[in-house]
Each structure stands twice: as C-alpha cells, then as structure tokens.
Amino acid sequence: MAQTFGAIPDKDLRDDLGDALTQSADEFKALLDTNHVWDFEKATSRDVYRDLQAIQFQRQEKRTMMNLSRIQMFFDGMDGLQDVLDELEPSRASSIMAYVWGPMRFLLKVTTVNDKAFDQILEVYQRLGHNIPPLEEYKQFFAGSLDARRCLLHLYRDVLEFHRLAYKLFSLRRT
C-alpha cells in the first residue's frame, strides 16, 4: 500500500492507539511526585468541573471573580477526546484521560491563590481550546483511519507536554 505524501510513520502508534496513548500517559506519570500519582490517576472530568465550581464560589466570596468560561472550549475538547477514546479504546480511555484531568485539577488549585498565575493558566487553556475541533463529530473517521488516530495521539501528547511543563513549574513551589 502506498504511503500518503507527507505522512510520516509514527513508530509509537504501531496500529494500536491505546498502546501509544498508554505509553505517553506512563511517561508522564513517571515525572510525577509520588504524592500526586494517586490523585492524577483517578481524576475525571467531573472532578475538574466540581473544582471549577468550588473555585468560582471561593472567588465570588472574595470578590475576585475571573472569567472561568475561558476554559470551556478546552474542557469541551477534552471531553470530546474522551468520548472518541471511549469508543476506540473503551477499556483504557478513563486511565488515559486521567492524565489530562489530574494535571488540570492540580494547576487550577495551585494557581487559584495567585491571580496572575491563575489568569495565565486560564489563558493557555483558552488558546488550546480554540485549536481543538469537535472530535466527537468524527468518531467514524478516527475509527477508519490510522492517520486520523495519529492526530489524536499528537493532540494528547501536546496536552501532556503543556501539563508536564506547567506541572514542573508549579510543583517547584510545593516542595
């Protein structure tokens, strides 16, 4: 079968998206402080949503409201990714996505005490969210195309890379 022009084989994908995503999650997990591993690996989108509600309530009480809706597009994009992965990798989707939700919870909680840092994290999530298409609308496309699944892998890895850098930065203060 001829290779599509410009398509570079991703040796990590090996026709198995779940293995490649799990490997990426495991590499991220290896960077975590042992105190955070359990919190991260059990995290869900509902946890992030509850945290956002609590942060909004606290900020309302202190009269230091921020536009938390900026995070919505990223949140929706990651929910879409989880929805696609639930179909493609039903037994692994939750554990893979935990390494999106866990770091997100950590970053929101750690930065909420500093208005500038919190604003910057919201800004980054907003920018990331603007670049994520409605993935759940393309489930059949992802199921039928190795190149499309490769895009999901790269999206996931990009999010993990942001979380890795931000985690390293913001976990320095806590040690």
Q: How many domains does the chain have?
A: 1
Considering the domain boundaries, does residue 55 fall inside one? yes
Residue 3 lies inside a defined structural domain of this protein: no
- 63 lies in some domain: yes
Whole domain around residue 75: which residue ranges?
Answer: 33-171
In a domain, 135, yes or no: yes
pLDDT number for residue 134 = 95
Q: What does the pLDDT read at residue 131?
A: 95
Check residue 1 and give its pLDDT.
40
* pLDDT value of position 5: 34
pLDDT at 58: 85
From residue 113, alpha-carbon distances to 21, 108, 110, 117 in Å are 32, 9, 7, 8
Which residues in the chain show pLDDT less than 70? 1-15, 64-66, 173-175
Supply the pLDDT for residue 69: 84
In a domain, 39, yes or no: yes
- pLDDT digits 0-9 by tens, 111-153: 999 989 999 999 999 999 999 999 999 999 999 999 999 999 9
